[in-house]
Structure 1
């Protein structure tokens, strides 16, 4: 377990320029949950991010409490950690590692946990230990100065790869294999809390004639996520109501265009919803869909959605991709389909609905299967891998 020097903190930060919080941004969800999980494990932690997440003055105590409330509403995390709100650099349009972060966060950092190689490089310059996560994002893939990160030195405590494929790629880039750990993204443990009354209200509101079943998808609406394949299933299952929750405005507009062109009236686009509403919808559904287009980078897709779906207890139809196949041999309420055969989604939905009808309280076998993947367990594995953090000698 990590032992921190007195008065220092375990700092969690995503990338240069990111706000402290914002709806529908996966890496900000990662940061908030990682900070909370670290704190719950007894390690003093701090979450850093840009002040431009807020439209109100944040410098007062009341403003800081409002920031905590925003984090709880958006991501379901509690204020068990400190926050550092970073202002834009004087000559830049955003904050950078060399501005407020260097002046006010780095002096009190025992270790910095980040997804940005540029922040890791700033840590190297100041002799601060760091943990770097790689989630196959463009700014990570485009970073060229890997040799400057001193990956073999004690400053690099670990390099986290989100999938085995990324871990292999990092090793080929020269990251020492003993520094690489493969960790899935985590899921907020509150997803397992039962929301029976809210789920019942959703079903009463949505399941009106002619609809007999409710199928829910939560997440992004980009084409690579198999959204058009879900629409193909909706065209066949006319007595089933499909709710798609999530997506940016441009993706929602594209979905509306396709729905109108195909004459689909049994799809509802809910747009972005906060963590609590997403959990309510997942527990209200007869079936949840984890879709992926055949050409949708299935080999590097994170299983995070699967973890969240499992904790809901609702039966699942999932694309047969590396992120989901680990559950093929588990005795749980899940049915797989082949992304290369999108027409098979409808058949999978029919089959699982017959085998696992709606059950208030969810299927316990699914909930149990999801528990090992909560954020706190993920962070526990990482801290055990890292071990003791060396005391910072200079700044």
Structure 2
């Protein structure tokens, strides 16, 4: 009797969606790219609240369905990607034990009894889920983007089903190998850009400029990303103080981080920097195109050795001039024309001078600068997905739909 080959490419995220976290933008876009390549891709993640109490969902927790509009807008995803939220009713994650942990429930119960029968391959940043896949006879792709001083289980990483581990920095790759990852099973690949950022949005960009440029200012510098000290936000505030004729805008960050930096700017008497908080990916594309310059500051330290330049590729796709900090994860871009000025980390004076110079030498173009737009085409999420899949045994891939 002929058996049907399992068909799904499962991408597991251990957090609820949507949340304004960079790693969730990365994971959702990575899954979306695989779906765009024609594979039956299902994004699974925990779901709490009222929907988690639905008896039908509890009986049949794995039900691939159309991606909800709120996720489409939040992360700018496309319709080919399917989702299957996993119900996590009370007391899961409310009572802190191993057996009431949503990650344990997903890896040990839902995967084994509900997801496994139609799964061909698993992809995740969560080690527990990767381990569960391999132990249950399913090939796996592991994403690991940060330093972690913990040895990898040799029975997993040396298993033929463990296909490849992917990271975004050479330093992280080296630390993974030091912790027992076979060198031939770990590859460094940069993140990608979303296709929306390549499309031009002149009217929306004009609306951003009308809304954000205040007090007669005509120049706009935008930063998009996390509001963390190591990302150089303190430096950017100091830069803004030195350039009072320029409007600075930061997009991203949690509410408490936005409040913290708003207060810091007030304490330093800087009135030309605005903190927007997290904005939808659909709106971010036009904001980047509205800017005269995109800022990529960063501080020195450990984080500079592994930080993933996630937003940098969206910056490139916008075609807007970029001023960036020289850190290890960006050194390979120094000999390209895609970044217009480089600064040493921690130096507000150097960053200020670079912004002022680029404003003079690179007038804003509504259609963007072609150097960065052409350069970034090699870094689409779909091209990244193709490279990852090239390391997977062809017999272990799902059939394209």
Fold conserved between structures, TM > 0.5: yes
Q: In the aligned structure 2, how far is the partner of 1:64 from the partner of 1:9?
A: 10
Contact kept, 8 Å, 2:324 with 2:339, in 1: the verdict is no
Q: In the aligned structure 2, how far is the partner of 1:118 from the partner of 1:153?
A: 15
Pick aligned residue for 1:105 from 108, 115, 118: 115
How far off is 1:183 after superposition?
1.0
Q: 1:390 to 1:199 in 2, by over 3 A?
A: closer
Q: 1:88 to 1:245 in 2, by over 3 A?
A: same
How far off is 1:40 after superposition?
1.7
- With the length of structure 2 as denominator, give the TM-score of the two structures: 0.88
Match in the other structure for 1:171: 177
How far off is 1:84 after superposition?
1.3
Q: 1:144 to 1:285 in 2, by over 3 A?
A: same
| SS of equivalent residue, structure 1 residue 385 | coil
Contact kept, 8 Å, 1:158 with 1:181, in 2: the verdict is yes
Contact kept, 8 Å, 1:333 with 1:365, in 2: the verdict is no
Q: In the aligned structure 1, how far is the partner of 2:66 from the partner of 2:139?
A: 31
Is 1:25–2:21 an aligned residue pair?
A: yes
Over residues 22-65 of structure 1, what are the superposed CA-to-partner deviations in whole Å (9 max), with x where a residue is unaligned?
232223222221222112222221111112388799879xx997
| SS of equivalent residue, structure 1 residue 187 | coil
- With the length of structure 1 as denominator, give the TM-score of the two structures: 0.89
User: CA RMSD, aligned part only?
Assistant: 2.4
| SS of equivalent residue, structure 2 residue 294 | strand
Over residues 252-309 of structure 1, what are the superposed CA-to-partner deviations in whole Å (9 max), with x where a residue is unaligned?
1210221111111111111110001111110000000011112362111112221110
Pick aligned residue for 1:146 from 125, 141, 153: 153
Q: How does 1:365-384 map to 2 (within 5 A)?
A: 365-384=371-390
Match in the other structure for 1:87: 87
Over residues 210-247 of structure 1, what are the superposed CA-to-partner deviations in whole Å (9 max), with x where a residue is unaligned?
31210101111111110010011111100101011111
Is 1:48–2:44 an aligned residue pair?
A: yes
Q: In the aligned structure 1, how far is the partner of 2:354 from the partner of 2:50?
A: 43
How far off is 1:322 after superposition?
2.3
Q: How does 1:379-390 map to 2 (within 5 A)?
A: 379-390=385-396
Q: How does 1:189-228 map to 2 (within 5 A)?
A: 189-228=195-234
Q: How does 1:56-71 map to 2 (within 5 A)?
A: 67-71=67-71
How far off is 1:76 after superposition?
0.7
How far off is 1:66 after superposition?
8.0
Q: 1:296 to 1:174 in 2, by over 3 A?
A: closer
Which runs of 5 or more structure 2 residues have no equivalent in the other structure?
58-62, 94-100
Q: In the aligned structure 2, how far is the partner of 1:205 from the partner of 1:195?
A: 15
Which runs of 5 or more structure 1 residues have no equivalent in the other structure?
none
Q: In the aligned structure 2, how far is the partner of 1:200 from the partner of 1:189?
A: 20
Contact kept, 8 Å, 2:53 with 2:87, in 1: the verdict is no
Contact kept, 8 Å, 2:217 with 2:247, in 1: the verdict is yes
Higher deviation after alignment, 337-346 or 64-73: 64-73
Q: In the aligned structure 1, how far is the partner of 2:226 from the partner of 2:50?
A: 23
Match in the other structure for 1:276: 282
Match in the other structure for 1:295: 301
Over residues 159-186 of structure 1, what are the superposed CA-to-partner deviations in whole Å (9 max), with x where a residue is unaligned?
1122111111111112111111111122
Match in the other structure for 1:312: 318
Number of aligned residue pairs: 379
Q: How does 1:240-279 map to 2 (within 5 A)?
A: 240-279=246-285
How far off is 1:389 after superposition?
4.1
Match in the other structure for 2:60: none
Contact kept, 8 Å, 2:67 with 2:81, in 1: the verdict is no
Higher deviation after alignment, 26-35 or 193-202: 26-35
Q: In the aligned structure 1, how far is the partner of 2:49 from the partner of 2:74?
A: 12
Contact kept, 8 Å, 1:68 with 1:79, in 2: the verdict is no
